[in-house]
Amino acid sequence: MLKQVHFGPSYIPYLLVTPQILITLVFFIWPAGHALYQSLLIEDAFGLSSEFVWFENFEVLFADEHYLGTFKRTIFFSVLVASISMGFSLILAAMADRVIKAAMVYRTLLIWPYAVAPVVAGALWVFMFDPTLGILTYGLSMFGYDWNHKLNGNEAMALVIIAAAWKQVAYNFLFFLAAMQSIPKSLIEAAAIDGAGPVRRFATIVFPLISPTTFFLLVVNIVYAFFDTFGIVHTITQGGPAKATEILVYKVYNDGFVGLDLGGSAAQSVVLMAIVIALTVIQFRYIEKTVEYS
Amino acid sequence: MIENRPFITFLSHAVLILGIAIIAFPIWITFVAATHDAVRMVQVPLPLLPGDQFFANLDQALNKGISGGSNSGVGMMIFNSLVMALMIAIGKIAISLLSAFAIVYFRFPFRMGFFWMIFITLMLPVEVRIIPTFEVVANLNMLNSYWGLSIPLIASATATFMFRQTFLTIPDELLEAARIDGAGAMRFFFDILLPMSRTNIAALFVILFIYGWNQYLWPLLITTDQSMFTVVMSIKQMLETAEQAPEWNIIMMTTLLAMLPPVVVVVFMQKLFVKGLTETEK
């Protein structure tokens, strides 16, 4: 943590940490504390007076079946985004790991969606699935399927999941490929000599050995689906139709900025913070025992 | 190659090419849409091959914007995005370098307290504390300014951790040698630590530039003045206008413009990008 050899006591280290600490205090600690405090208040409709109500906002929140529905929906959404995106990239990485010479070319062609902003990803997919004009809507109509995500909640959810998973494939692919390439070749060769075919080797050697990476990616993907998909939902569906795609981050924004229910929104923020903290702790406990990547 | 199985090798290539086709398909459709005129873009089925209106659309997107919207082209917004991304990337790197240096090379009271305070920022993404942070920025009169766009996003636990990690691998002998030669703390920082962390700084810059460029919710909240909009958030507004008058060719051209800079950075600085991604996540 600290160097064996270091500088003696002086005022310099305080000056050095000042910018970071100042920004953290003003833009992180203070707002988070304020959200905590506000989550214990109920304000009247004009914001003129507020009453301290202890945990009533939370009680209301967890008794509200809309909120519980949003909670379940977010979990459903995250699990599907994580599994679709990780499954797809695991297959591609396993294939790229076999064709080692071309692997880097394929990597270049696969990693760039990482750089696409969630909102932009949303715009691409909403264009392709536009109910009247979209090219994929047209394709589906040739099979007799009538796609309209503006009316059908399940279709809206499917579209949001596809767009979110599409964007995350690049990231997962990169980490899976790096993990597979760090497996010693001698292990694979020994198994091949013993007569194990490619599928058997993948199932009994490669997959177990990359499991730390898989677990790490699972946490990262769930964090991504919980918190970084606001832009996707906002462009594609705005949480609709009839709240079918309203996930937790979207509800915090919507209740706070559109519905102006500050206490309720703050209570939701606090619940989200608890989720992030839990996920970060899981991630860090794991990272202590991490594998080598590059 | 462990064994020679031409069929499986062929299959691998086939699956990879199919995968790339699926991943790249939305971009192809976007590109095609950006090369046709507005009339063609309302006829079903939409084209699958590019047309000849690319430069006309580029000119309209950059200088005029969509006809239904009130905004005047995205040229200015691209500049705003660039300023915001650069301020975030450079700001994060600068303050993280300084605090990592303090935490690794100095012993001082509350050292661990500061360390934990920085660590906490990792747990508070902007999405979970939007309203109170917005209030702070409004009270500081930072709405509709580059400062408001960038400073609240500048504190970074991941960057501080990464530099701490880098500094810990730098041999102690270097500091001893520097001190014997009479170098002070800041001299050591600028002449030895900074040059030695050059690759890490570059790798982190790539990641942070993309992070900054792609910010959406934050600019959406704190900018109300057209002249401060960023290109990423303008897409959403164009889509709203598109409900009445769809000008998909211009919207898709803007989409292309919005994703071009970060994608170019990833593809051309791939080594640094991969390094940055794997190191910050460790």
Q: Is A278 at the interface with chain B, CB within 8 A?
A: no
Question: Smallest Cα–Cα separation from B229: which of B149, B151, B139?
Answer: B149
Q: Give the span between the Cα atoms of B258 and B239, in whole angstroms.
A: 14
Judged by a CB distance cut-off of 8 A, whether residue B39 touches chain A is no
Report chain B's C-alpha Rg in angstroms.
24
What pLDDT was estimated at residue A248? 86
The Cα B272–Cα A278 span in angstroms is 31
Question: What is the complex's ipTM, to 2 decimals?
Answer: 0.84
What are the structure tokens assigned to A200, written together? 């058997």
- Checking if the pLDDT of B76 tops 90, the result is no
The pLDDT value given to residue A219: 86
> Which residues of chain B have a CB within 8 Å of the CB of A124?
26-27, 29-30, 255
Q: Residue A58 has what pLDDT?
A: 82
Mean pLDDT computed over every residue of chain B: 83
The secondary structure of B4-15 as a DSSP string is: --HHHHHHHHHH
Lowest mean pLDDT among A39-53, B20-34, B137-151, B153-167: A39-53
Chain B interface disruption, residue of A34, A112, A172, A230, most B CBs within 10 A: A112
Q: Return residues 225-264 of A near B (CB < 8 Å).
A: 227-228, 230-231, 234-235, 249, 252-253, 256-257, 262
Chain B closest-CA separation from residue A101 CA (Å): 10
How far separated are the first and last CA of chain A, in Å rounded?
23
Q: Which domains does chain B carry?
A: 6-75+233-266 (no CATH), 76-222 (1.10.3720.10)
Nearest-Cα distance to chain B for A31, in Å, is 5
Do the Cβ atoms of A20 and B233 come within 8 Å? no
Place of tokens 């500050």: A262
Q: Model confidence over B101-125: pLDDT tens digits?
A: 988 888 888 888 888 888 777 777 7
Alpha helices in chain B (DSSP H): 6-33, 54-59, 75-105, 111-121, 130-139, 146-150, 157-168, 172-180, 185-188, 194-196, 198-213, 217-222, 231-241, 248-268, 270-281
Would you tell me which residues 61-80 of chain A have a C-beta closer than 8 angstroms to some C-beta of chain B?
none
Q: Is the pLDDT of residue B51 over 90?
A: no
How much is the pLDDT for B66?
67
pLDDT score at A86:
95
pLDDT of residue B254 exceeding 80: yes
- pLDDT given for residue A292 in this prediction: 44
Residue ranges of domains in chain A, CATH in brackets: 64-287 (1.10.3720.10)
Which residues of chain A register pLDDT less than 50? Answer: 290-294
- Among the partner-chain residues B26, B216, B273, the one whose CB lies closest to the CB of A117 is B216
- Is pLDDT at B209 greater than 80 in this prediction? yes
**Residue of higher predicted confidence among B122 and B138:** B138
pLDDT of residue A83: 94
